[in-house]
């Protein structure tokens, strides 16, 4: 039998049983769509993280609390706290440091005369606006003398200023942070998200004032903009300085013995890329389970189809059809099912990815959609492979049926 005839007969058989074909394809559609969705979101997350890191420039070095071999995760108050104001003062006085900012954070109740809400309060030094690339809309940012005197002044992000004061200019007015009064000295222009922090909802106060109010002894992290010194060399210098000030006996430079961690933008970008890759692999592995389930479903349906068409197989063999013709017919049916299901799954996966990322972008700027061509090729290839693997055994059974017994089958 010619290949064209085999393909025509296989396709016609699927058309005759449209409802069964659709139900059979459903598992593959869901599996391929899930793979596309997971990989697309995983790649979008990686792009988002890298864009957040790149927004600071390549000359930023972060110093945070925690063991030196803990290389992942944002600054956290749950690890051992070791960075002090003295560490920050020594670092920012270095000749090759352009700017340095110390920060502490705490979720606190913020009140104005007309509104109240719980928001993340950021205690910062005067250089934070430079390092985090924010711009003033009105008033001024925190000054160095206000940091030194622990002055209770505040700078509001664009959105939080609107929530607290509406259309009024908040500069010169007062707010309360956990019942303590702060005077608003400035507001920021819309800035979006930087390093997973929504600057439009930020409330900046001198870090010294927040530390005093909350009885804090350590800063959460220090961000440093280095000068002509390469970031890799700056990292080594910071490690030497902090080991000396923290009186750590670590001449061999074992990171696990440090009580701090220093990372450049390149380190953060590499770590973000690695996390994105691991996330994509894990999500794809989970989604691939539904592909396997769909393949098993196709194999079961094809076995049922072979049983139902036993007399047809016997008749075709009786008039001269060879086993390989029967094998190809049923194998092609399975491959057609999975390829069509794969294409439908790719379409719905891309559609859901686009919708999902548009929704995420509505809540947080920086999320973008791009067609994950690798995921598309993976989904299509796997769906075709499933058709071959799971369709072969029912097709083989059909090809080896005895024609006389098949004709007698009721």
| Rounded-to-integer distance, Cα 95 and Cα 93, Å | 6
Both tokens of 269, joined, read 């970008």
- pLDDT range class, residue 397, cuts 50, 70, 90: confident
Q: Are 374 and 276 in contact (CB under 8 A)?
A: no
pLDDT tens figures, 258-306: 888 888 777 776 776 676 677 667 766 776 676 777 777 777 777 777 7
Predicted pLDDT of residue 131: 84
pTM given for the model: 0.64
Q: What is the mean pLDDT of residues 25-53?
A: 79
C-alpha separations of 115 from 110, 183, 198 in Å: 8, 16, 20
Nearest CA to 131 among 201, 223, 226, 214?
223
- pLDDT range class, residue 146, cuts 50, 70, 90: very high
Q: Could you please report the per-residue DSSP string of 277-327? A: HHHHHHHHHHHHHHHHHHHHHHHHHHHHHHHHTHHHHHHHHHTT--HHHHH
Q: What is the mean pLDDT of residues 9-16?
A: 62
Predicted pLDDT of residue 205: 96
Pairing of strands 203-206, 97-111: unpaired
Report the chain's mean pLDDT, rounded to a whole number. Answer: 80
CA angle 141, 58, 48 (to 5 degrees): 85
Q: What is the mean pLDDT of residues 61-66?
A: 86
Q: Which residue has the tokens 């092609």?
A: 332
pLDDT tens figures, 342-381: 888 889 989 998 998 888 877 766 778 878 787 788 777 8
Q: Count H helices, E strands: the chain? A: 13, 12
Range name among 6-15, 68-77, 160-169, 266-275 with the lowest pLDDT average = 68-77
- pLDDT range class, residue 163, cuts 50, 70, 90: very high
């Amino acid at each position: 039998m010619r290949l064209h005839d085999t393909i025509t007969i296989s396709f016609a058989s699927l058309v005759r049983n449209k409802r069964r074909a659709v139900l059979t394809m459903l598992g593959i559609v869901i599996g391929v769509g899930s793979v596309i969705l997971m990989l697309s979101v995983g790649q979008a997350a990686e792009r988002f993280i890298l864009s957040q890191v790149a927004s600071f420039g390549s000359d930023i070095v972060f110093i945070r609390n925690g063991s030196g071999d803990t290389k992942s995760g944002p600054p956290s108050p749950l690890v051992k706290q070791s960075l002090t104001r003295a560490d920050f003062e020594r670092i920012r006085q270095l000749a090759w440091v352009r700017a340095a900012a110390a920060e502490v954070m705490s979720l606190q109740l913020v009140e104005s005369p007309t509104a109240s809400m719980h928001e993340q309060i950021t205690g910062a030094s005067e250089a934070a606006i430079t390092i985090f690339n924010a711009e003033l809309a009105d008033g001024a940012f925190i000054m160095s003398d206000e940091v030194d005197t622990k002055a209770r002044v505040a700078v509001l992000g664009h959105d939080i200023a609107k929530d607290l004061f509406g259309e009024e200019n908040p500069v010169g007015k007062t707010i309360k942070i956990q019942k303590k009064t702060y005077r608003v000295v400035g507001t920021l222009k819309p800035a979006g998200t930087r390093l997973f922090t929504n600057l439009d909802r930020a409330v900046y106060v001198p870090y010294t004032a927040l530390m005093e109010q909350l009885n804090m002894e350590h800063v959460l992290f220090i961000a440093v903009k280095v000068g002509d010194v390469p970031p890799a060399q700056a990292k080594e210098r910071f490690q030497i300085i902090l080991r000396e000030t923290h009186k750590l006996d670590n001449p061999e430079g074992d990171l696990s013995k440090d009580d701090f961690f220093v990372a450049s933008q390149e380190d953060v970008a590499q770590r973000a890329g690695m996390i994105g890759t691991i996330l994509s692999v894990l999500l794809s592995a989970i989604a691939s389970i539904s592909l396997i389930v769909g393949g098993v479903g196709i194999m079961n349906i094809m076995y049922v189809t072979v049983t139902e068409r036993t007399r047809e197989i016997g008749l075709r063999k009786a008039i001269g059809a060879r086993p390989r013709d029967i094998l190809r017919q049923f194998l092609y049916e399975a491959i057609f099912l999975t390829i069509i299901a794969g294409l439908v799954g790719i379409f719905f996966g891309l559609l859901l990815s686009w919708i999902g990322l548009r929704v995420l972008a509505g809540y947080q700027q920086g999320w973008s959609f791009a067609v994950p061509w690798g995921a598309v090729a993976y989904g299509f290839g796997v769906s075709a492979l499933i058709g071959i693997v799971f369709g072969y055994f029912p097709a083989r059974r059909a090809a080896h049926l005895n024609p006389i017994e098949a004709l007698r089958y009721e």
